Amino acid sequence: MTRSLELAARECLSEPCAAMLTPGGIEEIQDGLKRKRFTSVDLVKAYLARIDEGPRSLHGIPILLKDNIATLHSEGMNTTAGSYALLGSVVAGESFVAAQLRAAGAILLGKCTLSEWANWRGTVPSGFCGRGGHGTNPYVPLGNPSGSSSGSGIAGAVGLATATLGSETDGSIISPSGNCNVVASSRRWGLLRAQGYVVLLWLRLIPISEHQDSVGLMCRSVADCAIVLSTIAGRDPHDSYTLNQPAQVPDYTKALKKDGLRGVRLGVPRKVLEGVDANVLIAFNKALKDLTELGATVVDPADFGDGWDYEEVQNREDVVLCGDFKVNIHSYLSKLVDVPTGVRTLADLIKFNEDNREKELVEPYWTDQARFVKSNGVHQDPAFWEALEWDYRMGRQDGVDGLLKKYGVDAILIPTARASRPAAVAGYPVITAPDVALTEASPTRMNGPNMPFGISFLGTAYSEFQLIQYAYAYEQATKHRLEKKAYPEAIPKTQLADVMGK
């Protein structure tokens, strides 16, 4: 408050203009201006000072959301899963996470491209969607960004927003984060549900599977993940999946301890690392030495139960996802306020793509919709429920929980390339941090010089706080993310200083 405004306030405490201390009505303010008790400049400064007194947790922070997370159509943001089939569709309301961000003062800057339909349409290279074209890795020209949250990973890597949100069914957040050199926190079971798989009336994420879909964060640091997660986690009254979580959301920033690995026991499931790129394994083994030097005890090997087979888990998971998709996408489409294309069923989607091949089934690499076709013929029959129960058992009792108990470890450490499936079928949290691997070029550009990779910390239900602690300690000690630079053409030229004052 300026001196002239302070004097005016003291001089007229018994007059109407005293209301300026709790700004009064227009007539009172005009009276103060006429009496020259204060100026219009004083008045504006007072209001701005009051606004500054109450910043919210993400006040003014620009955030991008994956284009399958519902945002308000009235604000000009489509929710399309990257497909022309849903262009102009109107959701009944924004997603829980979008509302939480808005309430925290964040600026919803826009939507990110993605691997179309969260990489579920068919066998199509990661990063492609009809509406956005093909996104590629910012570290390797024409490189694989991975998917399906490819756009969120790319945008986060090159600083197009302070943080980005993605969704994960199995690897769709942590895999592009590993490839794009950013930190990812993918929650499972109820901490950040996409909203409403039991109360389907309120479904506001374009789904694949009610049993595995989740929303997560992609940031350039563990600290940023902790800040945003503290804001957007919580129980959603419209989504019964979230009601089992602890009533009080932790302050995840309290987990940011540089000595957070001291005394921690980490298990390495060696058997599931078979087939991982040799260069990634070299870097991963180096990371194990770094973790030991930081005070952790690494139990290696610490394998899942004898019945745990990576490929068989994938096969059973496929039954679950196909069975869920048809039911869940029909529910989502039926609740849309408007769909200009008239698409309301999975069969409609398949036909729309065939009728619009020049936009959606683009030659030569992007023509497949085999997963759509397969899902359209799958039902939630006894085989579906048996596969779901088997996956839960493999993910939990014979997977994550079994390993933690058998070896007496606090978390599982695993290259990001193998981290998603155990977490996905268990419904458990995972956080990935950048690491460094030297990789060779290949014609497919799945790898290439300068391609990043990540290591992941995987834990039991609601162990996000501990996983953030471990990842933060590792990140701060190694600073691996800073060792890689995007290739020149992928680096934005505009910096904050370039626009200040203009």
* Residues designated as active site: 66, 148, 172
Q: What share of the chain is helix, strand, coil (3-state, %, to 5)?
A: 45, 10, 45
Q: Are 118 and 208 in contact (CB under 8 A)?
A: yes
Sign of CA dihedral 107, 110, 114, 120: positive
Return the amino acid letter for 320.
V
Helices marked H in 37-169 — which ranges?
40-53, 96-103, 116-119, 150-157
* DSSP string for residues in 250-308: P-GGGG--TTTTTT-EEE--GGGGTT--HHHHHHHHHHHHHHHHTTPEEES-----TT-
Q: Are 69 and 193 in contact (CB under 8 A)?
A: no
- Neighbour-count burial of 105, counting CB atoms closer than 10 A to its CB (0-12 exposed, 13-18 middle, 19+ buried): middle
Closest by CA to 280, choosing from 185, 186, 136, 414, is: 414
CA-to-CA separations, 255 to 236, 369, 423, 468, in angstroms, rounded: 24, 43, 21, 6
Sign of CA dihedral 439, 441, 447, 448: positive
> E strands along 151-234, which residues?
163-168, 183-186, 214-219
Q: Are 464 and 431 in contact (CB under 8 A)?
A: yes
Token pair 């939507």: residue: 111
Q: Measured between alpha carbons, how far is 264 from 460 in angstroms, rounded to an integer?
A: 15
Helices marked H in 408-463 — which ranges?
416-426
89 contact partners, CB below 8 Å, separation of at least 6: 73, 78, 79, 80, 336, 338, 339, 340, 341
What is the maximum span of the chain, computed from C-alpha positions, in angstroms?
Answer: 85
| Residue 356 in tokens | 């619009």
371 contact partners, CB below 8 Å, separation of at least 6: 120, 121, 122, 123, 322, 325
Helices marked H in 442-491 — which ranges?
464-478
215 contact partners, CB below 8 Å, separation of at least 6: 69, 95, 97, 165, 166, 167, 168, 187, 192, 193, 194, 205
Q: Measured between alpha carbons, how far is 263 from 448 in angstroms, rounded to an integer?
A: 37
DSSP secondary structure letter of residue 309: -
